[in-house]
Copies of this chain bind each other. A is one copy, B any other.
Amino acid sequence: MSRKVKCIEGGICAPKGFKSAAIGCGIKNPEVKRLDLALIYSEFPTVGWAVYTQNEVCAAPVRLSSSYLKSTVPRAIIANSGNANACTGHQGMLDARTMASVTSRALGIRQREVQVCSTGIIGVPLPMGRIEPKIVPLVESLGEDGDPAAQAIMTSDTHQKSVSAQCKIGGKKVRIGAIAKGAGMINPHMATMLCFVTTDANVSQAEIKAATQEAVDHSFNCISVDGDMSTNDTVIVLANGQAGNNRITRSGKGSAEFREALTEVMLHLAKKLVSDGERVTKLVEVNVRGAASHLDAQRVARAVGNSQLVKCSWNGNDPNWGRVIHAVGYSGARVKEEMVEIHFDGVLAAQNGLAAKTDIDKLSKAVRKDEFTVTINLNIGRGEFTLYTSDLSPEYVLFNREEYALNRKS
């Protein structure tokens, strides 16, 4: 976090007027009673916005929630793990709607104020018989501990992801809390993930919409683990105004501070998603500089960050700049080979498109770290982009080999 944005305790419930809860329904396996259903709720009216997956094949809860968002400001979020409710047809839509309606009745709000999210296996109907009876007890257990909700949305994540921060806007303390889940399918255009953000900032609906999109663009849209895009990706931001600051209008006074804090919170979680990617051993920051355009810089960063061969070399602590430059070459960006410069964690690996005279042990040491940067300067323009990505490990492949058959059999 920057100097102006301070980490605080409390997670998703750190902002005033937000409550959360979680419960176990045995969604993936009726025998295993881990937390798998989460609820987040603002006791006060809210403004809010959400950004969803751009996958043409999107899950029922995404279709339902995005249709609700068109007409109604969200105030509560119900989310389950263990089953994505994707590729589940008409029944999937009915089930998502049931989750919203039962939740809204128990909370005493309108059905369309409830955003519904699901994450987990694709193509298997939700076990509504196990979920539905748990919604009322879930609502009754709403409290100020944000951890259970953070745990309930996890799938193959190895630990819960939660953050809360505070900044000053117009002399008032404003709090932002957030939880996220990631692990597999982390990639361009909305990593496969869920992220729920609460804030007690007093902001206009127009500002929350713009600020959410901007923060997502500078955080979750800058990470990639495996280049795959999920059917369920969702980021939702709720703001209830309880901080008592003067209302922040779109790009108005306080907007810069608010957006900075919101972006920092999301970027913090985005990096955690990458480093907790399935069997990931490295967090790699790919900095592209000197590209002909921002888009070209992005093309280069994504080509390098998603190259299987480049990711394998990182896993092996191999400062293989040849694989990096060949990915630069096929990225589709304008490239002058003889201008390209590559640094591994600040150590020069290639200059003018040629091997630098740097000692190989120095280069190997640079990529041996758990976190390092790869800086690629194309030296032909001013376009820049940073992508946070990971290595590719043999364990990732082993982990992702078998899933569907096992689930169908269980």
Contact = CB atoms under 8 A, between A and B. Distances in A.
A317 interface: yes
B122 A323 contact: yes
A123 B321 contact: yes
A354 B57 CA distance: 11
A56 B402 contact: no
Interface in A382-410: 392-398, 400-406, 408-409
A257 interface: no
Contacts of A373: none
Contacts of A335: 56-57
A92 to B, nearest CB: 9
Contact of A57 (B337, B394, B395): B337
A5 to B, nearest CB: 33
A229 B329 contact: yes
Interface in A93-108: none
Interface in A304-329: 307-309, 312-313, 315-323, 325-329
A42 interface: no
Nearest to A225: B308
Nearest to A184: B309
A7 interface: no
A88 B86 CA distance: 50
Interface in A64-109: 86-89
B330 A56 contact: yes
Given A308-B392, A309-B184, A397-B394, A229 B318 contact: no
Given A121-B322, A229-B329, A315 B397 contact: yes
A121 B354 CA distance: 13
Contacts of A316: 400-402
A264 interface: no
Given A122-B325, A322-B87, A398-B394, A226 B308 contact: yes
Contacts of A400: 308-309, 312-313, 316
Contacts of A56: 328-331, 333-335, 337
A251 interface: no
Contacts of A398: 394
**Size category, A interface:** 35 or more
Nearest to A192: B326
A312 B124 contact: no
B397 A330 contact: no
Contact of A55 (B86, B227, B329): B329
A254 to B, nearest CB: 37
Interface string A354-380: 110000100110000000000000000
A58 interface: yes
A71 to B, nearest CB: 23
A328 to B, nearest CB: 6
A228 interface: yes
A185 B309 CA distance: 8
Contacts of A327: 228
A327 B231 CA distance: 9
A87 B355 contact: yes
A37 interface: no
A380 B95 CA distance: 28
Given A56-B333, A229-B326, A312-B396, 13 more contacts: A123-B325, A124-B355, A184-B309, A189-B330, A228-B307, A229-B329, A231-B329, A313-B402, A318-B403, A318-B404, A320-B403, A320-B405, A364-B405
25 contacts: A55-B329, A55-B330, A56-B333, A57-B328, A57-B337, A87-B355, A89-B338, A89-B352, A122-B323, A122-B326, A123-B321, A123-B350, A226-B308, A226-B309, A228-B330, A312-B400, A312-B401, A313-B401, A315-B397, A315-B401, A316-B400, A316-B401, A318-B401, A318-B404, A394-B397
